[in-house]
Structure 1
Amino acid sequence: MPFSLLNDRAFPVVCRSGARRWMALPEIAAAVDNPESDYAVEFGWPRPDLDMASFELCVGIVHLAFDIRDEDDWNALWSNPPDAAVVTQKLQPLLPAFTLDGSSDGDHPRFMQDLEPLEVGAKAADINPVEALFIDTPGQNGQKKNADLLTHRDRYAALGLPAAAIALYALQAYAPSGGAGNRTSMRGGGPLSAIVIPVAQADGPPVSLWRKILANVCHAERLKPADLPKALPWLAPTLTSDKASGGRLVNPDKAGEAHPLQAFFGMPRRIRLVMAEAPGRCALTGEVGPLVTGFVQKPYGVNYGVWQHPLTPYRRQKEASEPYSLKPKSGRFGYRDWISVTVGREEGLLSEPAQTIRLARRQRAHALADGGADPRVRVGGWAMNNMEAIAYLFAEQPLHLASSASKQVALDDMARRLAAAGDLAAAHLRSAIKLGLFGPASAGTDQGVLALAHATFYEETEAEFHDLLQDLLASADREPSADPALDLSRRWLSRMRRVALDIFDRLAPVPLDDMERAAPLTAAYGRLRAMFEGRGKDGAALFTELQMAVPAGAKKSRTKEDAT
């Protein structure tokens, strides 16, 4: 029997009890609102990139099966989630498209694989090891130079069919640069994904995995059954991008070529998996069964034009310029990044949150935050250096959903102000330490003690940032006796001041026994403290960002401060 991602137990999950099991998609949907059931609450792959890929795949499958065209359709799906029997029925027409190893009579298609049988007649030298499906597997150049220090070669000699299927999906969904003709994903190499994670009420049962999937279903144009190959490109001959095709670009608005739902099923790489002759043990999961040992790849697959994936935030250089996907950083995900992913920045590089985040914040707050539990935003993605993976970013932060559109606008404005003020304070802290330690001479600010000061400031102010936004939400639901925004700005200023001065003391202590070295450090510390008192042009800029009046005494000293 061929292996199917729709009715076989293709997904490892963590259940409410903490038990780990393998489930088929209809089983994940079972008993979703039954408090007595040991239902699935998370995916349980040994790798977070496969967990995120499983979310995206399942959201895409729900789109195909349930035809969600507007918010009314989504509300009906959310209010009355389908049980396992309904899901099984809805998936039935899709079964032939989601088999990994072909049909029982040897015919195609095969999930996420080229319709052309590339593996037939392939020489041993043409077959890539199956672990090369993972983005963090060192490339041939890295292996030749023995540069695979953080991510090693020879980790996964063979993969079971479930692991091979989701690894293949992850590669197609996040494909980085891969040499001549090896196309990147439709979001570019190493995109950031952002999904909504509903949270349980206090003392309530945990939210099911099925509801977490449904929370990220957006809207899409109707897909006619005859047009399924326009969403699932492995059902038709590949729209190649070699010279013979004129370097064809595939766009969602180009008539006759692609449906917008192909965003969930993009296939930039022409790949066919090579199956082992005998069953064995999966090197990733430890499960015994049929194995995949390698794959054959051919260049010049689908070259995607301008697409916007529903689960990825984007940026634009200008209002009318083309969007490009946000990319993860190798460091931590802080509130500066949170702004771009959930709220969007209005200055500098214009950023636009993912469609699922926008819907949650503008139209779904009542449904997702039922009972007062605030959903979270989960982000994941590979930080890349061209073709080499640096680190996988995986993080969660509060989403901060307000109870009305006007309150959400007020909260978003406050969030931008707090973050912008944090940027000013962090930059001035770094400059003060640089001046105190190195003087006017140039010193790199992206490494050493200066980079540490910058990163530590954001880390130590992050909890207060989210606490202030949560307090603003709470105050919006009652009649405040004073201006809550002004109170929050004052609290934020106080927190930033304490953190910045403390970091300066730790990283650039004044040597009391060396007056020559102490003098510039003392002066730099004084300038930093003055900024938080509203003195000087930096202090005025900080108070303006927080919409606070500059203290009268600080105004009188600004001319003298600026002159120095």
Structure 2
Amino acid sequence: MINLLIDQWIPVQRKDGARDVISPLDLLSDSPENPVKSIATIRPDFDGAVLQFLIGLYQVLLSPEDTDEWKELLDSPPTVDSLQKRIDQIKPAFIPDGPDHRFMQDSSVRDTDVWEIQNLLIEINNTHFLKKGTIQHLCPKCAVLALLTLELNSPSGGRGHMTSLRGGGPLTTLVCVPDEQTTLWHTVLLNLISTDMFPSKGDLTVNQSVIKIIFPWLGILPNSEGGDVIVPKDMHPYHVYRNVPRRIFLNFEDTTSGNCDLCGEKSEVLLSKYWSRPNGIKYDSWTHPLTPYYIKTDKAGDLHLPVRGKEGGVTYANWIGIVMGSTEAGRIPASVVKTLPDRLYKDPEYPELKVNVFGYVTDNAKARAWQEGILPTIIVPNEFRAAFLNEVSRLVSTASDILFILISKIKDGYSRDARNMKGDFSEVRVSFWHQTESVFYEALEKLTASIPADSSRSDELHPMTDEVKKSWLFEMRNVTLSLFKERVTFPIYGEADPGLSAHAELALRGYLSNNNAKVCKSLGLPAPEKVSKQKVKK
């Protein structure tokens, strides 16, 4: 038997680039000269799942009471000996191949419906990570990685196959520092939340009496065959890190030996089957500390729904909702991001915090894409937060309007009947957001600099913000016109009409002008002066 708490099974990369395999507890005695920098499995979705596994594990092991205790952990990691009592309490929950109670598995489905092992893998159009039919055997490590990833992210899988606690395809957001500074230990610690800031209002005490409601597979796992729903009061708040919506039991009885079809390593034990039944745990009303939410209002009131990945990747269009949040727009950052100002405001040791965003893009029961990206954080004093968010919202909203006009004018350059023109313009959207990213962040930096040092007199930003927005519009004009020309010069959507494209470009230039009243209003700039006909005649 292996134990995922004390045995070495996690592939990692160290500071010098060397690969290694560690146990979760090895992080407590990591080498300061050559520390572990990152998870290094063979798939990015596995990397993300292991990171969440480690964060959830250390949230239970350490459970800091307040910010001061949390900061002490950043400066001075505990020892294994100091945590031994807690380790012994939870160790039985981390055995994936035991006789009965197994890590994230439901023993009640043993000897029921048989599934091929490749179905544990969340695949994207069957070709993104691997080709269909190429996975027939998995080593125990890869099988556990696949199981963990599926349970944490499970998309809709048909009738009775439940989605994860955060729904299908949730975005995960983790606080991180720049690559040159980061270690895996710091990444884990930065994403722990002290009990006084934890989003759940339940009792966060961890002792022997609550182990089975943190790790419910140590007992009889609930299911939804009778329509039961599991809400936060039914489990310990820390169960949020290890939800088990799928009823799965790995078949360690009928195995073979050879090379794993996923990692390629030789193993004396290769799994080819698992058992599974529908109607696993159906979760409702949970708030995950690592996921941003948005508010949807209906007849029942306000619903807090997890933000899911969207086509086009992680861009600055997501920045406000993921990093800052907005009451007006109903956007709530993940608790681990939202609490940053209270935890690390103006901390000289962490001047450049970022948010690592990753997750699947799903559509019904299918994963369409895997996306990940890094967004910078800016901690704004509360008295200037509303004014700052207002200006940033203007930039993002105006950028969305410019993108709409860009696509419209590209169509006009090809056809007199642009409304009915067919074509996939998703690559224009992706290119636009990525090519204007540096323009946005440059403006963001300047807006941050416009926050007055003295907040006693006013809650308004410095008047220089108008110049920042004008400069932003100038740079946006250059990028947008370049994107337009590329797509009408080369026959991407057919043969462009020179006359139509020239007229469309002129209209686009007019829209992007400082004299466009609509753009000025959108940016909150003074209305342009109207030129009288008399002046024009002169």
TM-score, structure 1 as length reference: 0.83
Once residues 435 and 346 of structure 1 are traced to their aligned partners in structure 2, the CA distance between those partners, rounded to angstroms, is 38
The letter for the 2-side match of 1:273 is L
Cα shift at 1:185:
0.7
Residues 1:284 and 2:262 aligned together = yes
Alignment of 1:436-515 (within 5 A): 436-443=413-420, 447-448=423-424, 450-474=425-449, 476=451, 483-509=463-489
The letter for the 2-side match of 1:129 is E
Residues 1:163 and 2:163 aligned together = no
Cα pair distance change 1:54/1:424, threshold 3 Å? same
- Give 1:144's aligned residue: none
Cα shift at 1:94:
0.8
Once residues 364 and 545 of structure 1 are traced to their aligned partners in structure 2, the CA distance between those partners, rounded to angstroms, is 34
Once residues 384 and 86 of structure 2 are traced to their aligned partners in structure 1, the CA distance between those partners, rounded to angstroms, is 39
User: Contact 2:406/2:480 (CA < 8 Å) preserved in 1?
Assistant: yes
User: Contact 2:415/2:421 (CA < 8 Å) preserved in 1?
Assistant: no
Cα pair distance change 1:412/1:77, threshold 3 Å? farther
SS state of the match for residue 438, structure 1? coil
Cα pair distance change 1:155/1:365, threshold 3 Å? farther
Once residues 199 and 318 of structure 1 are traced to their aligned partners in structure 2, the CA distance between those partners, rounded to angstroms, is 38
SS state of the match for residue 58, structure 1? helix
Once residues 240 and 401 of structure 2 are traced to their aligned partners in structure 1, the CA distance between those partners, rounded to angstroms, is 38
Cα pair distance change 1:520/1:362, threshold 3 Å? farther
- Give 2:53's aligned residue: 57
Cα shift at 1:181:
1.2
SS state of the match for residue 311, structure 2? coil
Once residues 85 and 10 of structure 1 are traced to their aligned partners in structure 2, the CA distance between those partners, rounded to angstroms, is 21
- Give 1:142's aligned residue: none
Once residues 155 and 510 of structure 1 are traced to their aligned partners in structure 2, the CA distance between those partners, rounded to angstroms, is 39
- Give 1:136's aligned residue: 123
Which of 84, 96, 103 pairs up with 1:100? 96
> Structure 1, residues 226-260: CA drift from partner, whole Å, max 9, x if none?
12222222122122211xx2x1111103xxx2122
SS state of the match for residue 548, structure 1? coil
Cα pair distance change 1:27/1:318, threshold 3 Å? same
Once residues 440 and 501 of structure 2 are traced to their aligned partners in structure 1, the CA distance between those partners, rounded to angstroms, is 29
User: Contact 2:256/2:271 (CA < 8 Å) preserved in 1?
Assistant: no
| Aligned sequence identity (%) | 26
Once residues 76 and 149 of structure 1 are traced to their aligned partners in structure 2, the CA distance between those partners, rounded to angstroms, is 42
Residues 1:222 and 2:211 aligned together = no
Residues 1:392 and 2:370 aligned together = yes
- Give 1:421's aligned residue: 398
Residues 1:127 and 2:126 aligned together = no
The letter for the 2-side match of 1:223 is T
SS state of the match for residue 323, structure 1? strand
Once residues 488 and 88 of structure 1 are traced to their aligned partners in structure 2, the CA distance between those partners, rounded to angstroms, is 55
Cα pair distance change 1:351/1:236, threshold 3 Å? same
Instruction: Name stretches of at least 5 consecutive residues in structure 1 with no aligned partner.
Output: 139-146, 558-564
> Structure 1, residues 43-89: CA drift from partner, whole Å, max 9, x if none?
00010001100111111111111223443442333233324544555
- Give 2:457's aligned residue: none
User: Contact 1:29/1:87 (CA < 8 Å) preserved in 2?
Assistant: no
- Give 1:114's aligned residue: 106
Cα shift at 1:280:
3.8
- Give 1:297's aligned residue: 276
- Give 1:325's aligned residue: 306
Once residues 391 and 82 of structure 2 are traced to their aligned partners in structure 1, the CA distance between those partners, rounded to angstroms, is 44
TM-score, structure 2 as length reference: 0.87
Cα pair distance change 1:518/1:306, threshold 3 Å? same
> Structure 1, residues 185-206: CA drift from partner, whole Å, max 9, x if none?
1111111111111226xxxx63
What is the aligned length?
512
Cα shift at 1:295:
0.9
- Give 2:12's aligned residue: 13
The letter for the 2-side match of 1:322 is L
- Give 1:335's aligned residue: 316
Once residues 127 and 462 of structure 2 are traced to their aligned partners in structure 1, the CA distance between those partners, rounded to angstroms, is 58
- Give 1:48's aligned residue: 44
Once residues 139 and 160 of structure 2 are traced to their aligned partners in structure 1, the CA distance between those partners, rounded to angstroms, is 28
Once residues 305 and 394 of structure 1 are traced to their aligned partners in structure 2, the CA distance between those partners, rounded to angstroms, is 26
Once residues 340 and 370 of structure 2 are traced to their aligned partners in structure 1, the CA distance between those partners, rounded to angstroms, is 25
Once residues 196 and 288 of structure 1 are traced to their aligned partners in structure 2, the CA distance between those partners, rounded to angstroms, is 36
Once residues 112 and 412 of structure 1 are traced to their aligned partners in structure 2, the CA distance between those partners, rounded to angstroms, is 41
Once residues 529 and 504 of structure 2 are traced to their aligned partners in structure 1, the CA distance between those partners, rounded to angstroms, is 23
The letter for the 2-side match of 1:312 is T
SS state of the match for residue 422, structure 1? helix
- Give 2:536's aligned residue: none
User: Contact 1:41/1:206 (CA < 8 Å) preserved in 2?
Assistant: no
Cα shift at 1:333:
1.7
SS state of the match for residue 288, structure 2? coil
User: Contact 2:55/2:191 (CA < 8 Å) preserved in 1?
Assistant: yes
Once residues 182 and 295 of structure 2 are traced to their aligned partners in structure 1, the CA distance between those partners, rounded to angstroms, is 35
Between stretches 393-402 and 263-272, larger displacement belongs to 393-402
Alignment of 1:247-326 (within 5 A): 247-253=227-233, 257-275=234-252, 276-289=254-267, 290-318=269-297, 320-326=301-307
